[in-house]
Amino acid sequence: MIKIHEMIQLIKSAHDGQMYGDRPYWTHPRAVMDFLGAAPDEVKIAALGHDLFEDTTVTVADLKTKGVPYRSIWLIRQLARRADETYKEYIERLIATSDRDVLVIKRADLMVNLNGCTERQRRRYELALAKISMALADLELSI
């Protein structure tokens, strides 16, 4: 299984030349991972890779070759917004997975995105955050 520090190197390479505001893009998924605290490594690896399929040429085969666990790849695939999805449809699809890890990673992503976003983005992220948080609460209640 790929180690966290190896996944960080992978995302640094894959996102090379991309920026997140005034910082190298890889710092964004790193902040998302850090937001997760003591999550299992498979979840942290997915958090690090959550934008790979949207923003780079990395493929599932590439991740398998690098030793990314199947669970992490599945999470990364779920977290990738599809080209034909509106943002609302994307958030609804994530909620429909009823997968705690998908929702926890997306919540962390939204929390990180709220720092330094435009006012228009803020409204969209806050609404998505409320929906994701409610879905997580519903999952916790159903256990």
pLDDT (tens digit, 9 = 90+) per residue, 30-65?
A: 999 999 999 999 999 999 999 999 999 999 999 999
Domains: count for the chain = 1
Distance CA 115, CA 141 (A): 30
Distances (CA, A) of 31 to 43, 47, 89, 96: 14, 9, 25, 25
> What is the domain extent for residue 125?
4-142
* pLDDT (0 to 100) of residue 142: 74
User: Is the model's pLDDT at 141 over the cut of 90?
Assistant: no
142 or 79: which leads in pLDDT:
79
Residue 117's pLDDT is 86
Q: Is the pLDDT of residue 137 over 70?
A: yes
- CA-based angle 33:14:110, to the nearest 5? 35
Q: What is the mean pLDDT of the chain?
A: 95
Angle between helices 27-35 and 4-14 (to 10 degrees): 150
> Would you give the end-to-end CA distance of the chain in angstroms?
30
Residue 73 has pLDDT above 70, yes or no: yes
What residues are paired with 23 via a beta bridge? 20
Mean pLDDT value of segment 117-135: 94
User: Residue 8 and residue 27: Cα distance in Å, rounded?
Assistant: 9
CATH of the domain at 85: 1.10.3210.10
Does residue 143 surpass a pLDDT of 70? no
